[in-house]
């Protein structure tokens, strides 16, 4: 029997122990090398692109010799004006990429011993960095599954049966319910969107899926319109989940992860943040077979606005 990837040593290339053992200077160096990969971490002026800088080491700032602009490694990135130590920032990233169903902000604030608000903002910034890899603007190709799932807008039911409301009726809903429509390549990316109705998924497919693709959808009647633009395989879930290879199992497992993330970690999501969780779950799903050291590196690189450099792969095995 082959061992599951997540249980293998190859999936574990980064640990909190290695981060804290290496210390603050090493963590700072990681951020510099991610920000300026083309100069191996030597500062480059963000204003005039000059490579000559004074290094104000006591304040971890740089001053451009040409234009006198002062900047830090995080200036102009999503970590700008951070107050957290670099070692804690790296630890937060490690915790985030290790949590396969996400991590609640309360838990993150306890692990890092920081304020809840700090953890909240940081976690959302990291999700933004992950979303860059999910919402790439490139169309999906090959075999693409589509489905939708509803989140939020739960109406608490009255105690006595006589007082209970029919939650299916519009006048009894609170307007906070949204649907996540997800498109998923059988062998590749997952692309989620937040909309009011599942039927809006047809337009999303038209905009985001190659015309050469074959699509899979369930029996819901609004998907009939997909047949106008694509070759579509349908599966009737009221009768069967997989019909001779016709299924939407890939997109269903994405929703399974998102559902567990929302229910198990966050308990409640407001419509304004739902797309962030949807992107986070898509990123985790698409990277489920990548080791955690590489994942952390990808998040830092995205956050620093630099392309991912493969030189970092395996860095933490060597450092530990």
Q: Report if residue 240 touches Zn ion, rule: CB under 5 A.
A: no
Q: Which among 253, 294, 287 is positioned nearest to 134, based on CA atoms?
A: 287
Give the residues across from 190 on adjacent strands: 184
Q: What is the token pair recorded at 301?
A: 């690189």
Q: Report if residue 202 touches Zn ion, rule: CB under 5 A.
A: no
Minimum distance, C-beta of residue 57 to Zn ion, in the bound complex (Å)? 19
Minimum distance, C-beta of residue 49 to Zn ion, in the bound complex (Å)? 7
- 117 and 106 Cβ atoms separated by less than 8 Å: no
Q: Which of 6, 10, 48, 203 binds Zn ion (CB under 5 A)?
A: 48
CA angle 143, 148, 154 (to 5 degrees): 160
Q: Report if residue 50 touches Zn ion, rule: CB under 5 A.
A: yes
- 224 and 245 Cβ atoms separated by less than 8 Å: no
Q: Identify which of residues 63 and 143 has a Cβ nearer to Zn ion in the complex.
A: 63
Q: Report if residue 212 touches Zn ion, rule: CB under 5 A.
A: no
Q: How far apart are CA 278 and CA 254, in angstroms?
A: 9
Minimum distance, C-beta of residue 63 to Zn ion, in the bound complex (Å)? 9
Q: With contacts defined by CB under 5 A, how many residues of the chain interact with Zn ion?
A: 8
Q: What is the contact mask toward Zn ion in residues 3 to 42, using x (rule: CB under 5 A)?
A: ----------------------------------------
Q: Identify which of residues 6 and 66 has a Cβ nearer to Zn ion in the complex.
A: 66
Give the residues across from 193 on adjacent strands: 181
DSSP state of 188: S
Q: Looking at 64-72, 162-170, 212-220, 271-279, which segment touches Zn ion (CB under 5 A)?
A: 64-72
Q: How far apart are CA 248 and CA 241, in angstroms?
A: 8
Q: Looking at 33-41, 61-69, 94-102, 260-268, which segment touches Zn ion (CB under 5 A)?
A: 61-69
Q: Report if residue 43 touches Zn ion, rule: CB under 5 A.
A: no
Q: Report if residue 47 touches Zn ion, rule: CB under 5 A.
A: yes
Q: Identify which of residues 59 and 168 has a Cβ nearer to Zn ion in the complex.
A: 59
- 187 and 285 Cβ atoms separated by less than 8 Å: no
Q: Please state, as a whole number, how many other Cβ atoms lie within 10 Å of the Cβ of residue 83.
A: 7
Q: Report if residue 45 touches Zn ion, rule: CB under 5 A.
A: yes
Q: Identify which of residues 18 and 72 has a Cβ nearer to Zn ion in the complex.
A: 72
Q: How far apart are CA 124 and CA 280, in angstroms?
A: 10
Q: What is the contact mask toward Zn ion in residues 69 to 108, using x (rule: CB under 5 A)?
A: x---------------------------------------
Q: Looking at 60-68, 114-122, 145-153, 276-284, which segment touches Zn ion (CB under 5 A)?
A: 60-68
Q: Report if residue 64 touches Zn ion, rule: CB under 5 A.
A: yes
- 44 and 69 Cβ atoms separated by less than 8 Å: no
Q: How far apart are CA 120 and CA 114, in angstroms?
A: 10
Q: Which among 290, 262, 296, 250 is positioned nearest to 102, based on CA atoms?
A: 262
**Alpha helices, H only, the chain:** 16-35, 86-98, 105-112, 116-134, 201-208, 249-260, 271-286, 292-303, 315-319
Q: Identify which of residues 80 and 263 has a Cβ nearer to Zn ion in the complex.
A: 80
Q: Looking at 12-20, 50-58, 78-86, 187-195, which segment touches Zn ion (CB under 5 A)?
A: 50-58
Minimum distance, C-beta of residue 75 to Zn ion, in the bound complex (Å)? 12
- 150 and 182 Cβ atoms separated by less than 8 Å: no
Point out which residues bind Zn ion (CB under 5 A).
45, 47-48, 50, 64, 66-67, 69
């Amino acid at each position: 029997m082959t061992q599951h990837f997540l249980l293998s040593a190859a999936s574990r290339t980064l640990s909190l122990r290695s981060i804290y053992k290496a210390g603050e200077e090493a963590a700072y160096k990681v951020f510099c090398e991610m920000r300026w990969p083309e100069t191996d971490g030597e500062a480059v002026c963000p204003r005039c692109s000059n490579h000559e800088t004074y290094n104000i080491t006591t304040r971890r700032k740089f001053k451009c010799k040409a234009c006198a602009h002062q900047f830090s490694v995080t200036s102009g990135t999503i970590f700008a004006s951070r107050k957290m130590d670099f070692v804690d920032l790296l630890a937060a990233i490690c915790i985030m990429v290790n949590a396969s169903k996400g991590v609640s902000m309360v838990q993150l604030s306890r692990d890092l011993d920081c304020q809840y608000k700090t953890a909240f903002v940081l976690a959302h910034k990291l999700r933004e960095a992950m979303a860059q890899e999910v919402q790439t603007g490139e169309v999906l190709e090959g075999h693409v599954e589509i489905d939708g799932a509803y989140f939020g807008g739960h109406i608490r039911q009255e105690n006595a049966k006589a007082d209970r409301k029919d939650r299916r009726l519009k006048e009894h809903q609170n307007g906070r319910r949204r649907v996540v429509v997800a498109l998923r390549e059988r062998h590749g990316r997952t692309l989620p969107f937040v909309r009011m109705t599942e039927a809006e998924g047809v337009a999303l497919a038209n905009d985001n899926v190659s015309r050469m693709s074959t699509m899979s959808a369930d029996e819901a009647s609004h998907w009939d319109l997909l047949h106008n633009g694509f070759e579509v395989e349908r599966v009737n879930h009221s009768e069967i989940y997989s019909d001779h290879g016709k299924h939407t199992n890939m997109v269903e497992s994405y929703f399974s992860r998102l559902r567990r993330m929302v229910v198990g970690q966050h308990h409640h999501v407001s419509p304004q943040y739902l797309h962030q969780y949807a992107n986070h779950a898509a990123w985790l799903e698409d990277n489920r077979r990548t080791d955690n050291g590489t994942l952390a590196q990808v998040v830092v690189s995205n956050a620093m606005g630099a392309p991912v450099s493969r030189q970092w792969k395996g860095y933490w095995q060597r450092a530990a």
